[in-house]
């Protein structure tokens, strides 16, 4: 019997491709006699009266596994919900890159079947906790699996802020903002901002300035246990935003402080057997595939 006897399904709305994959997934799980729970929003695109619908926030307490059908953004939102619960997440890619959603739509039955049979790899990822305070009162907070970003919001203007790491002053900067990224998020927004790719197993954070008004400002990699603090400087007609995973937005004003620390709550990701981070990078980022010719010394290389 599979250890995953009850599976929750979450899908990105507004996509016929996602709806099609969800219906295939429901049919397959029914064949395997697995109990299925759909969150109410996802249930709207799967007209199957035999499937139980619950509120999304109920899934962690009711399921052994949650499968997300969509892109990385869909999985990021689900990750914040599942953080600290021990319920693992498995992603079916119906987005673009799909660094976090491993299974292709064509392989749903094969790969999900392997997971149900116990053939999978389990990986833990840490999240960030972002807290925004004004006059020593918390005005907003959220978890982030990928990144916490301070940015100008709807205006294209530079903003001023101060950066402290472990209560040590680092710099005052004028820029389009700052990305504080986990290793998970290093292949997302931080990468487009010139940050390094970090292996998910690293206990580290990277701070990536966004278009800084200086040639000497570069990304900084720090310990994952570092306490990051930003102090929002005086702005001219701009209210900078703090955004977590591009999905949770908190509007700041001059003098607000943003504290970013590692959350004590982690998430577990399920990958198909044979998952390799560098192989994913090679595929998603268009790195050149190995071209080993007959007789080459590289023929004996095993990834």
Return the active site residues.
Answer: 72
Rg (alpha carbons) of the chain, rounded to whole number: 21
86 is in an annotated binding site: no
Q: Judge whether 245 is annotated as a binding position.
A: no
Beta strand 147-151 with 177-181 is antiparallel
The answer to whether the annotation marks 12 as part of a ligand binding site is: no
191 appears as a binding residue in the annotation: yes
Q: Is 157 annotated as a binding residue?
A: yes
20 is in an annotated binding site: no
261 is in an annotated binding site: no
Q: Is 259 annotated as a binding residue?
A: no
Beta strands in the chain (DSSP E): 6-11, 35-39, 52-54, 65-70, 89-93, 120-134, 137-144, 147-151, 159-165, 168-175, 177-181, 204-210, 220-223, 228-232, 241-244, 248-251, 257-272
Pick the closest to residue 274 from 265, 283, 266 (CA basis). Answer: 283
Instruction: List, in order, residues 6 or more apart from 215 with CB less than 8 Å away.
Output: none
Residue 188 annotated in ligand binding = yes
- Residue ranges of the annotated binding site for NAD(+) are 72-73, 146-147, 157, 176, 187-192, 247
Residue positions forming the annotated binding site: 72-73, 146-147, 157, 176, 187-192, 247
């Amino acid at each position: 019997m599979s250890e995953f006897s009850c599976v929750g399904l979450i899908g990105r709305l507004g996509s016929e491709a996602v709806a099609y994959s969800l219906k295939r997934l429901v049919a397959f799980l029914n064949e395997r006699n697995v109990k299925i729970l759909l969150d109410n929003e996802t249930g709207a695109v799967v007209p199957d009266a035999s499937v139980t619908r619950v509120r999304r926030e109920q899934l962690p307490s009711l399921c052994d596994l949650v499968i997300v059908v969509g892109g990385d953004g869909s999985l990021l939102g689900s990750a914040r919900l599942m953080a600290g619960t021990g319920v693992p997440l498995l992603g079916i890619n119906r987005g673009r890159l799909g660094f976090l959603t491993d299974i292709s739509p064509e392989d749903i039955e094969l790969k999900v079947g392997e997971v149900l049979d116990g053939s999978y790899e389990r990986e833990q990822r840490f999240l960030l906790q972002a807290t925004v305070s004004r006059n020593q009162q918390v005005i907003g907070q959220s978890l982030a699996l990928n990144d916490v970003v301070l940015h100008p919001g709807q205006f294209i203007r530079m903003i001023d802020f101060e950066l402290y790491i472990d209560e040590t002053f680092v710099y005052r900067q004028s820029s389009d903002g700052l990305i504080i990224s986990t290793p998970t998020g290093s292949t997302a927004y931080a990468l487009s901002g010139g940050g390094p790719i970090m292996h998910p197993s690293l206990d580290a954070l990277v701070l990536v300035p966004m278009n800084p008004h200086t040639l000497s400002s570069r990304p900084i990699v720090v310990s994952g246990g570092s306490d990051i603090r930003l102090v929002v400087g005086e702005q001219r007609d701009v209210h900078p935003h703090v955004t977590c995973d591009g999905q949770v937005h908190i509007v700041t004003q001059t003098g607000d402080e943003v504290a970013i620390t590692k959350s004590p709550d982690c998430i577990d990701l399920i990958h198909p057997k044979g998952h390799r981070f560098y192989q994913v990078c090679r595929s998603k980022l268009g790195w050149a595939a190995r071209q080993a010719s007959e007789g080459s010394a590289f023929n004996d290389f095993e990834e």
